[in-house]
């Protein structure tokens, strides 16, 4: 998974291109079960949330720390995930990412994995 900080004025065609390329991961990457790029859903902060976590002026939007898009991928194995890392389809996102992100990867992307227990 990854969280992206996408420019407010990002070219919609570049965003669509990134979405299309990621959607094709399931077709071209062995062991890729799911792949999507979408806007990050940030719900309104309820009163119960405010009571539990504190009344943040910006609500959950503030907690998102500027990340506003997500890339979500699921792989059938660690080996499939490793293949993805250097696969040309993954590397082919560079043009779109550099065009839509607010800066370089260090500033614009937070990447992490979730490994479910067996």
7-64 residue pLDDT tens: 999 999 999 999 999 999 999 999 999 999 999 988 887 888 888 877 777 777 777 8
Residue that has been written with the tokens 């990457």 in this structure? 29
- In this prediction, residues 74-86 reach a mean pLDDT of 95
Give how far Cα 30 sits from Cα of 19, 24, 72, 82, 91, Å.
19, 11, 16, 11, 15
Q: What is the pLDDT of residue 30?
A: 94
Q: What angle do CA 64, 38, 92 make, to 5 degrees?
A: 110
Q: Where are the domains of the chain?
A: 2-111
User: Are residues 6 and 68 in contact, defined by beta-carbon separation less than 8 angstroms?
Assistant: yes
Q: What is the pLDDT of residue 58?
A: 75
Q: What is the pLDDT of residue 48?
A: 87
Give the architecture-level CATH label for domain 2-111. 2-Layer Sandwich (3.30)
The answer to pTM > 0.85 is yes
Other Cβ atoms less than 10 A from the Cβ of 69: the count is: 21
């Amino acid at each position: 998974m990854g969280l992206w900080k996408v420019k407010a004025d990002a070219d919609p065609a570049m965003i669509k291109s990134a979405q299309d390329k990621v959607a094709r991961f399931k077709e071209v990457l062995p062991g890729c079960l799911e792949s999507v790029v979408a806007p990050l859903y940030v719900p309104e902060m309820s009163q119960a949330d405010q009571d539990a976590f504190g009344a943040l002026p910006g609500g959950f939007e503030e907690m998102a720390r500027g990340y506003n898009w997500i890339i979500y991928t699921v792989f059938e194995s660690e080996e499939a995930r490793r293949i993805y890392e250097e696969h040309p389809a993954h590397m082919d996102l560079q043009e779109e990412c550099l065009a839509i992100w607010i800066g370089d990867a260090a500033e614009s992307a937070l990447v992490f994995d979730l490994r479910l227990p067996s």
